[in-house]
Amino acid sequence: MLEARLAEANVLKKLLDAIKELVTDANFECSEEGITLQAMDNSHVALVAVKLVQSGFKKYRCDRPMPLGVNVGSLTKVLKCAKDDDMCTLNAADEADVLNLVYEAKNSDRISSYDLKLMDIDAETLGIPKTSYEARVVLSSSEFGRIVRDLSLLGDSVRIEVSKEGVRFASDGEAANGNVLLKGQGPIGKVERGPQGDDEEVNEEDEAGDGVKKEKKNADEEAEVNGDDEEDERKKKKKAQTKIKKEKIVDGDVEMDEDEEIEYQADEDGEEEKEDDDDDEDGDSKKRKNKTKSSKPAKKAKTASSSKLKKGKSKAESDDEDGEDAVVIQMNSHVSLTFSLKYLVNFSKSGNLVKRVELFMSNDVPLLVSYDFGQGYIRYYLAPKIGDD
């Protein structure tokens, strides 16, 4: 029996939208570890591998391994009936001939149920050999999609070249030529391994590519925390001084001067005024309280603190934006290969799943385009063009 519940149907919808033009019929292999799909296009030029890990589901149960043969186009139509934020549950009994999909709306009592007929698909799972790549490029998914779409207007093929200068995308058409050069942020490193193997290690490698940025961000966070601690200590000291002054005022021994009233108002932020109302019963105390309430320096203190928080927030947001656009290049040797733009444009549709994409290249080896997201990954393998083929 299979029961797999996704928090949002949008994840499955985006996955199928990305592969529906490459794959017609495919088996979703279900096991205790999750759901996987592996299929080639009709021309046997591109291979797509999809995995939804068990931990990415809100609830997951698979008693025994089972294949779910589906028509990708039909499943896409059924998923269009779900809203993006609907909870989606896949149900299938052992040796069932239908796949049941249940959509539950988050903000209402609407529950929809659909049954999709399963198919018997005779397809073998291909073993993907472990490959040591000579070049690795990490860039924005939106930037990659824009480049391949723009160049597809000029020609049918694109030459991707990774060198010390950066990564260059070039297309030669009958009427026009074009190329785009992306320079990496920071020094060019060495490629240690490909994405085959443990997925967690690949994610750590991604983080290592942006190590300089993360160190800077951590330093900023530590400075901000230390600054907050110092500010708390100053507030405690001022509060203690204010408390002493208040006790003297209540006893009637000492009169507050104008400077003391300003400091008292800035530190207590209105809370101590209520206590003064209860403790001070004579007219002089009320006058002092009204005078303190109208002091201008208190407003300045609040404005300064709020502007400081705004500045810190905008800085953190700008750091995140810079990281999304950064280009990371790792290279062991110069690589230059030519690929079909039609396939790369289809691959780029997975960019709506994650903001970053990885390109792995070696001479005379298929290109690997990898999108790793929270619930799993989708990877494309594309054979390079040789000569005029």
Alpha helices in the chain (DSSP H): 10-19, 72-79, 141-152, 199-209, 211-251, 258-268, 271-279, 283-293, 297-325, 341-347
CA distance linking residue 68 with residue 240, whole number of Å: 70
Rg (CA), the chain: 31
Chunked mean pLDDT (size 10), the chain, 389 residues: 91 90 90 92 90 92 91 92 92 88 89 92 74 92 95 94 93 90 80 56 38 43 50 57 44 44 44 46 46 44 37 35 75 93 93 92 92 91 78
Q: What pLDDT score was predicted for residue 375?
A: 87
Q: Is 188 in contact with 329 (CB distance < 8 Å)?
A: yes
Q: Which pLDDT does position 237 carry in this prediction?
A: 55
Ordered by where they begin, the domains of the chain are 2-127 (3.10.150.10), 129-210+332-365+383-389 (3.70.10.10), 216-323 (no CATH)
Neighbour count for residue 90 (Cβ, 10 Å): 21
End-to-end CA gap in the chain: 47
Residue 256 to residue 243: CA distance in whole angstroms: 13
In the chain, what is the greatest distance between 2 CA atoms, to the nearest angstrom? 99
**Which tokens belong to 53?**
């890990």
Residues pairing with 275 in the sheet: none
Closest CA to 341 of 157, 96, 140, 79: 157
Cα–Cα dist 256/177, whole Å: 81
Supply the pLDDT for residue 261: 44
pLDDT reported for residue 207: 39
Q: Is 86 in contact with 9 (CB distance < 8 Å)?
A: yes
Going by C-alpha positions, the residue among 72, 78, 85, 89 that lies closest to residue 18 is 72
